[in-house]
Structure 1
């Protein structure tokens, strides 16, 4: 396998991990929250925090690295419209993902506290959960748009 092929594979695997882990985390967090059971939420949120740390953070670092090296090897100019837009959407995704990570830690901790104190989930939990949920839509839309840009490489002129 040529080095370029290996990089393409790593880039595709990284994108798969980012999207797959993200959608999986979202699904399990939503399903856990629907129970309103602090024990279930604390457990699931604990796993989510680990998954985001192990998988998403690693792929988040490797994606731009493999993308940069691939673009250099192939000879794509970095001012190419679809590449610029891909980079901008990647940054936008990160701007939504970073608060989500912090919120997931807080949701986990609030649920753990409810378990320890044998109390219902506090109002802060619901407020943070709504923010967490809302952040997912632009982040996932951006990732899907990046997939489309990478697959189609449209001729986009930036002024």
Structure 2
């Protein structure tokens, strides 16, 4: 089977769509990686390891996740404008609502990760175990990650399936 390029597709549209897909990959990939590494560090119960891991996680969130969080609505808006898809209708409207939900859960998670890092650093410097405040924050971090990450997964499905809603 021979695949031919779709005629009439503008290069600017393809570039914008490419950037939008890259942003989605970064959000999903960084979120998955952060969750995995934080979980593994937490399970070690080693305060120094948790502190180092959480430090990297906070940096990754600021560099990768924050960049994608800004790029996604910009590229998504451009795509909607180019294709004439109404922003607040159907699958796109639901995706935008879920994007807000993800943000509501992500913002406190960023602060919690930084606080967990600081608590782990203090414990490591003092040669102590991770304090109860760290464990309380970890449970909150874990619970907030479920709807936040679930929203991102659902948005990705909506972008691919574009169901009639």
Please say whether Structure 1 and Structure 2 have the same fold, judged by a TM-score greater than 0.5: yes
Q: Distance in 2 between matches of 1:90 and 1:114?
A: 36
Q: Does 1:11 align with 2:5?
A: no
Q: 1:135 aligns with which of 144, 150, 153?
A: 144
Q: Distance in 2 between matches of 1:40 and 1:79?
A: 44
Structure 1: runs of 5+ lacking an equivalent: none
With normalisation by structure 2, the TM-score equals 0.92
Structure 2: runs of 5+ lacking an equivalent: 1-9
| Aligned-pair CA distance for 1:80 | 2.0
Q: Determine the structure 2 residue equivalent to 1:145.
A: 154
Q: Determine the structure 2 residue equivalent to 1:56.
A: 65
| Aligned-pair CA distance for 1:54 | 0.3
Q: Determine the structure 2 residue equivalent to 1:69.
A: 78
Q: Distance in 2 between matches of 1:85 and 1:25?
A: 26
Over 4 Å off, 4+ runs:
none
Helix, strand or coil: the match of 2:163? coil
Q: Determine the structure 2 residue equivalent to 1:34.
A: 43
Q: Does 1:20 align with 2:29?
A: yes
Q: Determine the structure 1 residue equivalent to 2:101.
A: 92
| Aligned-pair CA distance for 1:79 | 3.1
Give a deviation string over 1:17-42, Cα, whole Å, max 9, x none. 00000000000000000000001000
Q: Distance in 2 between matches of 1:76 and 1:55?
A: 28
Q: 2:163 aligns with which of 146, 151, 154?
A: 154
With normalisation by structure 1, the TM-score equals 0.96
Q: Distance in 1 between matches of 2:93 and 2:70?
A: 18
Aligned residues: 156
| Aligned-pair CA distance for 1:86 | 0.3
| RMSD of aligned residue pairs (Cα, Å) | 0.9
Larger radius of gyration: 2
